[in-house]
Structure 1
Amino acid sequence: MAERVFRIHEEAGIRSAFVAAWALVPALFAKAKHGLEIVIRPMKDKRSVAQNRRYWMLLRELAAIAWIDDRQFSDQTWHEHFKRALIGCEEFVLPSGAIEQRGISTTTLSIEEFGEYMTQIEVWAAEQGWPLMAGEWRAAA
Structure 2
Amino acid sequence: MRLIYREFTLRDGLSWNNLVALVRANARAAIDNDKPLKVIVTQAEAKRRSVQNRYYWAAVITPIAEQAWVGGRQFSKESWHELYGRLFGVCEDITLPDGEVVTRRLSTTDMTVSQFSEYCERVQAHAAQDYGVEFS
Determine if the TM-score, normalized by the shorter chain, exceeds 0.5.
yes
- How far apart in 1 are the matches of 2:67 and 2:56? 16
How high is the TM-score relative to the length of structure 2?
A: 0.58
In structure 1, the residue matched to 2:43 is 42
CA gap 1:107/1:8 in 2 versus in 1, 3 angstroms: farther
- How far apart in 1 are the matches of 2:79 and 2:102? 16
* C-alpha displacement of 1:124: 0.5
Any gaps of 5 or more consecutive residues in structure 1? 24-37, 94-98, 137-141
What does 1:114-125 correspond to in 2, within 5 Å? 114-125=116-127
- How far apart in 1 are the matches of 2:130 and 2:90? 21
* C-alpha displacement of 1:40: 3.9
Q: Is the 8 A contact 1:84 1:104 kept in 2?
A: no
For 1:13-50, what per-residue CA distance to the aligned partner results, in whole angstroms no more than 9, with x for missing partners? 866xx97xx97xxxxxxxxxxxxxx8542332122332
Q: Is the 8 A contact 1:64 1:72 kept in 2?
A: yes
Q: Is the 8 A contact 2:90 2:111 kept in 1?
A: no
- Corresponding residue to 1:83 among 58, 82, 85: 85
- How far apart in 1 are the matches of 2:121 and 2:102? 28
In structure 1, the residue matched to 2:55 is 54
- How far apart in 1 are the matches of 2:7 and 2:81? 27
* C-alpha displacement of 1:7: 4.8
* C-alpha displacement of 1:118: 0.8
Structure 1 outlier segments of 4+, above 4 Å: 5-15, 90-93, 99-102
Give the alignment's Cα RMSD to 1 decimal: 3.8
User: Percentage identity across aligned positions?
Assistant: 27
